[in-house]
Chain A
C-alpha cells in the first residue's frame, strides 16, 4: 500500500457535500415527492460522498492488496487458474453484446443468440454430450440444474422412489450440498487405498439400495487428480440399477484432447467456463456452469432455450412440458459465454487438444520434482493436479497451513489446502497448461527451500507470512460476534 489514507474504508474517506458523478440536467416537471409519503424512504441514505479521484485512488490501492493470475503463479488445486486472455475481455465489452436487452426482439439480437447456440454446440462436441443449456451461472448452479434434470427424468417415468445420490467421499463439497438443495439424500461411496472409488463398496450400495438411487455424481479425474479407470464398469453398474451418471466438470481440463465424459457413459454434466474455458474468476464470480445432457434427456433441460431453425435463432420459454423449469430469468451470465467462445475460437481444434496433455505434463513434472520432500500418499501418474499429505518430515511440526502461508512470502499464491478430506495435511497443486518450465522450476525451488526451512528454522515458517500487507487473521474473532457492515463497526 503506497498511501495509508486510501487503505481506509470508502465510508471513512467520505466528506459531506462531495460527489463523484455528473448527470444530465433534470428538465422534467415531476418529482418523486409526488409519491405518497407512506411509500417513500424515510431513513437517511448513508452512502459515502466522495470525489472521483478519491474513488479511483481508493480502489486502485485496494487492488494492490490482491493477487491475481497476472501477478504470479497461482497453483490453486481444483480451481484451474488459467491465464485469462486480454482479447476476450475486449470482445465481451463490445457494445454489440454489452448493450443488449435480454427481451429485445429476436431479429435484433441474432448475433447473440447465434453465439449462445454455437458455444452450446462446441461444448457438446468437446464433451460428447447432445445438447447444453448455458443458463446456470456457476458450477454449483450447474450441479443443481443437472440434478433437477435427473429428477425430472425419473419423475417422467413415474419412478418417484429414486431420491438418493451416490457421491464418493473424495467429492467436491458442492456435490452433496447441491444434492441436498435438490431434495436428494446423499449416500457416500468409499475410496479405496488407491484413492479410487471402491467398486466393491459401490456394488454393495447398489445391491442394497438400487431402486432408490437416482444418480451417481463423479469427478473424473477425481479430486486427487487420479483418473477413475474403472469408469466403464462403474457407469455400467449404475445404469443397470436404473440410475443416471452425473459428471462434475470441475476437473475437465486434463481431458481436453484426450477423452470425453459422454464417451465414458455420463448422462448429465456441467462445465465450468471459468475453469476449463479460461474466463476470469473475478475474485469469486461471475462464473458460468453450462449443463449438458446425452441424447434423450434434452426435453428436461430448463427454459428459456435458444432454438435454431433454418439458420434463424429464436428464444423459447413455453411448450416444454417435461422441462425442469427455470434456474434464471434469461440466458445466464452471457458476458462470460462471449469470453469462452472467443477462447475456443482462438485455440481452434488444433490447440484445444493440447490443453489436457500440457496441463497433465506440468502437474506430473511438479509432483515428480517434489515427492522426495513432500509426502505423496498415492503414487503413479496424476492428471491436471495432485495432492501431497504435507511435508515428508513431520517431526518439525510445520503444517500444510504453514507451508501455504510461507509460499505467500515468496510471491506465490498458495495451493488448495486441507482438501480433499481424505488426508490430514492435504496440499493440492494444479499448475495449468499456461505455466512455463521456468515458472515451475522456480516454484519447485521455493517449495524445496520451505521444506528446508522447516528443518532449520521452523519458527520462521510458522510465523509466515511476514511480507504480505497483513499477517495471519483471527478467524475465531470474526465468527464469534460477526461484524459485517460499516454501521455495525461504528457501533463497536
Chain B
C-alpha cells in the first residue's frame, strides 16, 4: 500500500468485517455529510526518498555562501558540541519515547532529567530546577507568572530596560492576558538605571523584578545590593542569563535571585533558525511547589532499588486543571538530554575553557574592529563575548556586503549600532578574515 501503512487488501477486508462495516468510509457514518471533506487536498503528490533528497539538496544549494560564519548572538549562539552529543540524542529509545509517565519503562529519560536538573542547579547555584521549558523567553514569562502568584496583593512585575526586547515582548504578552501590570525600568549607559528601579520599588505593588546578566547588550551588570532592595519590598528577584556564561560569571544564586531563568541553547545546541532550543528554570527550595513544568524526583521502587519518577504532579494541569501552576504539560526533553550529555563531556573545565575562548575572541574582534577606524565601542562596560559597536557607515550595506562574503556581521540594533558575538567555534583566522572583509567593503564603497 504505502511504506508507512502496513494494511494489505486482505487485512482490510478482515478488519472491516470484525468491525462490522463494509468500507473505510462507513467508519465515518456518524459525521454529518455537510462537514465531510470530499475533494482532493491541494498538496503535491507523494515523493520518494530519492526525490525528497533531491528537493532538499537543491534547496540547500540555492542558499549562497551557506552556512554563514556567524559573528552574532542576541540570544542564539554558535557554540560547538562534541560529536557524541548528536549521536546520543539520535538513539531512538530517547527520540521516539513519550513523556515518562510509566516510570518502569522510562528510567532512561527520568534518570537523565534528574542529571539535567542537578547540572542546571549547579550552574545557576540555585537549589532546584525543573525538567526544562520551551525557551528562555517563555521561561521568563513563566517566572513573571510565578512572582505574581506568590505575591499577596502586588500586581506589577518590573522589567529592566536592558532585558532582551524580544524576551520582554513575550513577558508583556503573557502579562497582558494574565492580568499582570508591567513596569519598564530605564536603562542608562547600557545598564539598569538603579535609581529608577529603587523609585519604582518603593512606590509599592511590586511582585517581581526581572533583570538580565549579561544583559541584552552583552554587558555584565553589577547587581550588588539588588536582592536586598527587592526582598525588602517582598518581591521576587528573577535573573535571566545565558546558561553557558554562568561557568565564569557570578551566578543568579550569588546575586541573591529567587528564580533563575534563561536559554540553555548556548550549551552546544545547534542554532537551527532559533529552535528547538532550551529554556531553563531554577529556583529556591522554598518556591518549588510554585514552579511550573515537569520535575523529576528521587524515590524507591517496590524492590528497594533507587528509582526516578515525575513528582509534585499535584501542581500540574492533568490533575489540577484550571488551578494548575501553569498549562505546560511537556518539557523540551530531548534538548535537556542534549545539554546534559554536553555538560558531561565538557565538565567544569571545558565550560570554562569555552568561555575563555569566547571572551578572548570577542575582545580580540572588538580591538580589531576599532583599529579599522570605522567602529567604536558603545559602552565602557565589562562584557564576556558579546558587545555593541557604533559604526560610522551604513549598517545594512555592511551586513549585506559581509553576507555576500559568507559572514553574518552581527545584529543591527539601530541605524548606527551593531552587536557582535564570538564563540569558541570562531578561529582567530576567521576573525581576521572577517575584519579584512569589512575593510575591503569600505574600500570598495569609498
Contact = CB atoms under 8 A, between A and B. Distances in A.
Interface in B265-299: 270-276, 288, 294-299
A436 to B, nearest CB: 4
A309 interface: no
| Ranked 7 nearest A-B pairs via Cβ | A28-B360, A330-B274, A348-B46, A325-B173, A96-B60, A102-B274, A282-B334
B45 A31 contact: no
Contacts of A101: 68, 70, 72, 76, 78, 271, 273, 408
B6 A435 contact: yes
Given A41-B250, A413-B102, A479-B311, A258 B28 contact: yes
A325 B175 CA distance: 11
A288 B357 CA distance: 34
A108 B47 contact: no
B111 interface: yes
B11 A437 contact: yes
A3 interface: no
Contact of A45 (B75, B123, B145): B123
B108 interface: yes
A103 B105 contact: no
B348 A45 contact: yes
A404 B102 contact: yes
Interface in A352-408: 352-354, 357-358, 360-362, 364-365, 368-369, 380-381, 383, 404-405, 408
Interface string A31-43: 1100110111111
Interface string B100-122: 10111111110110110111011
B62 interface: yes
A480 to B, nearest CB: 9
A4 B220 CA distance: 44
B334 A20 contact: no
A148 interface: yes
B323 interface: yes
B327 A283 contact: no
A336 B274 contact: no
Contacts of A76: 98
Given A70-B96, A263-B37, A103 B302 contact: no
A108 to B, nearest CB: 5
B121 A485 contact: yes
Nearest to A179: B322
A31 B169 contact: no
Nearest to B289: A482
B93 A49 contact: no
Contacts, number: 666
Contact of A108 (B52, B64, B313, B427): B64
Contacts of A229: 30-32
Contact of B356 (A26, A147, A380, A419): A26
Interface in B373-398: 382, 384
A151 interface: yes
Interface string A1-30: 000000001110010001111011011111
A76 B324 CA distance: 23
Contacts of A139: 329-330
A56 B88 contact: yes
23 contacts: A26-B357, A26-B360, A31-B356, A32-B359, A63-B108, A66-B108, A67-B106, A101-B70, A102-B76, A103-B411, A108-B403, A111-B62, A128-B37, A178-B327, A180-B327, A260-B37, A283-B106, A283-B337, A284-B99, A469-B107, A472-B301, A478-B298, A479-B297
A180 B20 CA distance: 43
Interface residues of B, number: 203
Contacts of B36: 258-259
Interface stretch (A87-95, A202-210, A240-248, A453-461): A87-95
A10 B273 contact: no
B347 A18 contact: yes
A29 B254 contact: no
B350 A23 contact: yes
Contacts of B199: none
B137 interface: yes
B96 A360 contact: no
Nearest to B111: A62
A345 interface: yes
Contacts of A473: 103-104, 299-302, 307, 309
Interface string A71-86: 1001010010101110
Given A138-B330, A283-B334, A350-B46, A99 B270 contact: yes
Contacts of B326: 177, 181
A418 to B, nearest CB: 9
B203 interface: no
B173 A474 contact: no
A176 B321 CA distance: 5
Contacts of B102: 67, 404, 408, 413-414
A291 interface: no
A65 B111 contact: yes
B334 A36 contact: no
A60 interface: yes
B44 A349 contact: yes
Interface stretch (B151-159, B226-234, B338-346): B338-346
Nearest to A76: B98
B7 A436 contact: yes
A477 B19 CA distance: 45
Contact of B301 (A26, A40, A474): A474
A284 B99 CA distance: 4
A434 interface: yes
Contact of B275 (A21, A105, A334, A484): A334
A35 B359 CA distance: 10
B167 interface: yes
Contacts of B296: 484
A351 interface: yes
Given A11-B118, A180-B322, 11 more contacts: A29-B364, A38-B222, A282-B97, A283-B109, A331-B275, A346-B46, A364-B19, A381-B21, A419-B318, A470-B303, A479-B312
B34 interface: yes
A112 B311 contact: no
A442 interface: no
Contact of A94 (B56, B313, B321): B56
A32 B384 contact: yes
A478 B295 CA distance: 11
Interface string B169-203: 11011101111000000000000000000000000
Contacts of B220: 35, 39
A327 to B, nearest CB: 6
B150 interface: no
B396 to A, nearest CB: 9
Contacts of B131: 284
